[in-house]
Amino acid sequence: NASAVLEYQTFYERALAEAAFTSCRDVRLPATGGYAIDTMCGRYGARFCTAQRWLDFQGDKSNGLAPLQIDFQLVPNGTRLPG
């Protein structure tokens, strides 16, 4: 019997998620001049994208890019998780 990971859940401190999102938010694609986040946030596009929506799209295996389903949980800054 072979085992494989098909899905996982990960916890991000909200400040880290917001900082990562902010670092990508204003990046433009040279070929189109549009925002890269437009293609990285699914149906929300750049205008309505948030850190949570961005991560949700990145972890959605139906987007054709994610190799497996990833459930990103944003937790309050300074939260101590078990383990």
Q: Torsion angle of alpha carbons 49, 52, 57, 58, nearest 10°?
A: 120
Average pLDDT, the chain: 92
Q: Closest by alpha carbon to 16, among 45, 47, 54, 42?
A: 54
Task: Work out the pLDDT band at 83, boundaries 50, 70, 90.
Answer: low
Kindly state the average pLDDT of the residues 47-70. 94
Kindly state the average pLDDT of the residues 30-40. 92
